[in-house]
Chains A and B, each alone.
Chain A
């Protein structure tokens, strides 16, 4: 009799736990019993969301291995097309030619903006579009000309594979020139830390990446924030895509589906993007 007295409550608790367990994980359910490797690469704006989602999934199921690499949108599209990775992220819509050549299937899971940023110490926090074009074209060379300190403007840009660069160049600079003397960094994260380090720098970064270490620059009076992007008043906006070659299946599909569950959307919002739908 003595024995049963503690086994019974234990039994009840464990049964209760079993019943409730699905309620705890919810969105992560499909990953149960799954195992394998998932390789992701490409757009660097996506990385914080990818990392967080991967962490949640891998904590829940240690049999799943997800590796995340950057490289830029061009790389993501190319690598998924070549079959080197299962998911290739891009911060721009793949071109029709890319879609047909690699039979890409696009999964747009968030809206993002691309905003110019400066160091928080910089007093210049508003520019007109033509001023910004002049800065990147090298016509305005000194912060003094914009009401700042008497120091040269250090321009930071991204490499050719970057989707962020392409969107900013098309919609922000109207395909204007970016001087070859601009510093080149390889990701949104690198852009953020470069501007956070350099009080006289200006660059552009995914709106989701803007935090206290860098200051957004108002463009024609509109500050790039997630709200202005959502309202449509800030116009340098774009979708964040995860591309697969053909229809996704297995773990790849489950991962992409996860981004559209309530828990996935919560991660997307936390990282500063607007979830789709």
Chain B
């Protein structure tokens, strides 16, 4: 009797694992299935490079891809130096009590809801950017990227700290034995050997920046164009989904958001496997 119970339980655990992993596949299948009519019409690749002009019958998502790239890469450019500095501070530079408090604060920051960054951004940063540059409306690539950068910094910092902490003890002992100062140790021992870990953190943060919806939706102005400067408005893939979801279910506009979904999904796949590859490589070495 007991054995049957065991078997049933094991089967149940296995089935739930199977179900959870099938969901991952089901989401992609659904996106492709719903977007298929439009993709078949002109080819998936065509959609990626065509402009968006619903009245002329063009439902390409090229401007959104460019908008996403601009905002997330610029956000990363803001977040990377900040995170590097903060992780230096936590790992070696700040005195122990300061670094502990600082780390707590950063951990707490990871829990601040995204919508609150957007809310404060609209009423604080948008008018500020508008008046600072005396140009445009303040709802632009730059504003969104700044807020996004601040938002992903805490996560990125903690990832960096983790990869610093994974440096083999023996390396650090060797540096100590040679009489290196903490900063020297950081610069010449920890940093070079944590290179892959840093890259991993950057890639995961990029994944988060691309996947974020609210900040871009609330702060980037949502115009469908390829931005020519950072002070111009733009639309991301995620914001595009949020804006067009309301359209007619059978219209090509509506179908096109599934191609956005597919692009985002494929991007996630790339990010995930790149990150997995890097962390395997890092573990092998350690």
A–B contact (CB under 8 angstroms): yes
Q: Which residues of the partner chain B approach A201 to less than 8 Å between Cβ atoms?
A: 137
Q: B136 touching A184 by the CB < 8 A rule?
A: no
Count chain B residues whose beta carbon lies closer than 8 angstroms to a beta carbon of A.
30
Contacts A152-B135, A198-B138: A184 and B224 contacting too (C-beta < 8 A)?
yes
Interface string of B36-61 (1 = CB under 8 A from A): 00000000000000011110000000
Q: B248 touching A154 by the CB < 8 A rule?
A: no
Contacts A200-B137, A201-B137: A186 and B225 contacting too (C-beta < 8 A)?
no
Decide if A220 is an interface residue (CB 8 Å cutoff). Answer: no
Contacts A71-B246, A82-B249, A161-B247: A184 and B137 contacting too (C-beta < 8 A)?
no
Contacts A78-B248, A181-B233, A197-B126: A186 and B243 contacting too (C-beta < 8 A)?
yes
Q: Which residues of the partner chain A approach B243 to less than 8 Å between Cβ atoms?
A: 159, 184, 186
Q: Which residues of the partner chain B approach A71 to less than 8 Å between Cβ atoms?
A: 246
User: How many A-B residue contacts, CB cutoff 8 Å?
Assistant: 65
Q: Which residue of B lies closest to A193 (CB)?
A: B122
Q: B225 touching A180 by the CB < 8 A rule?
A: yes
Give the residues from 75 to 91 in chain A that come closer than 8 angstroms, CB to CB, to chain B.
75, 78, 82
Q: Which residue of A lies closest to B55 (CB)?
A: A160
Q: Which residues of the partner chain A approach B221 to less than 8 Å between Cβ atoms?
A: 183-184
Q: B246 touching A72 by the CB < 8 A rule?
A: yes
Decide if B139 is an interface residue (CB 8 Å cutoff). Answer: yes
Decide if B110 is an interface residue (CB 8 Å cutoff). Answer: no
Contacts A152-B136, A183-B137, A197-B127: A75 and B222 contacting too (C-beta < 8 A)?
no
Give the residues from 48 to 88 in chain A that come closer than 8 angstroms, CB to CB, to chain B.
71-72, 74-75, 78, 82
Q: Which residue of B lies closest to A179 (CB)?
A: B225
Decide if A171 is an interface residue (CB 8 Å cutoff). Answer: no
A161 and B232 CA atoms in complex are apart in Å by: 24
Decide if B235 is an interface residue (CB 8 Å cutoff). Answer: yes
Give the residues from 181 to 240 in chain A that come closer than 8 angstroms, CB to CB, to chain B.
181-186, 197-198, 200-201
Decide if B253 is an interface residue (CB 8 Å cutoff). Answer: yes
Q: B225 touching A183 by the CB < 8 A rule?
A: no
Q: How far is the CB of B187 from chain A (nearest CB, A)?
A: 45
Decide if B183 is an interface residue (CB 8 Å cutoff). Answer: no
A219 and B246 CA atoms in complex are apart in Å by: 31
Q: How far is the CB of A88 from chain B (nearest CB, A)?
A: 12
Decide if B170 is an interface residue (CB 8 Å cutoff). Answer: no
Decide if B208 is an interface residue (CB 8 Å cutoff). Answer: no
Q: How far is the CB of B216 from chain A (nearest CB, A)?
A: 12
Q: Which residues of the partner chain B approach A82 to less than 8 Å between Cβ atoms?
A: 249
Q: List 13 A-B contacts (CB under 8 A).
A: A74-B246, A78-B247, A78-B248, A78-B249, A151-B134, A152-B135, A160-B244, A181-B232, A184-B223, A197-B122, A197-B126, A197-B127, A198-B130
Which 6 interchain pairs have the tightest Cβ spacing?
A: A154-B137, A71-B246, A184-B222, A180-B225, A183-B221, A75-B246
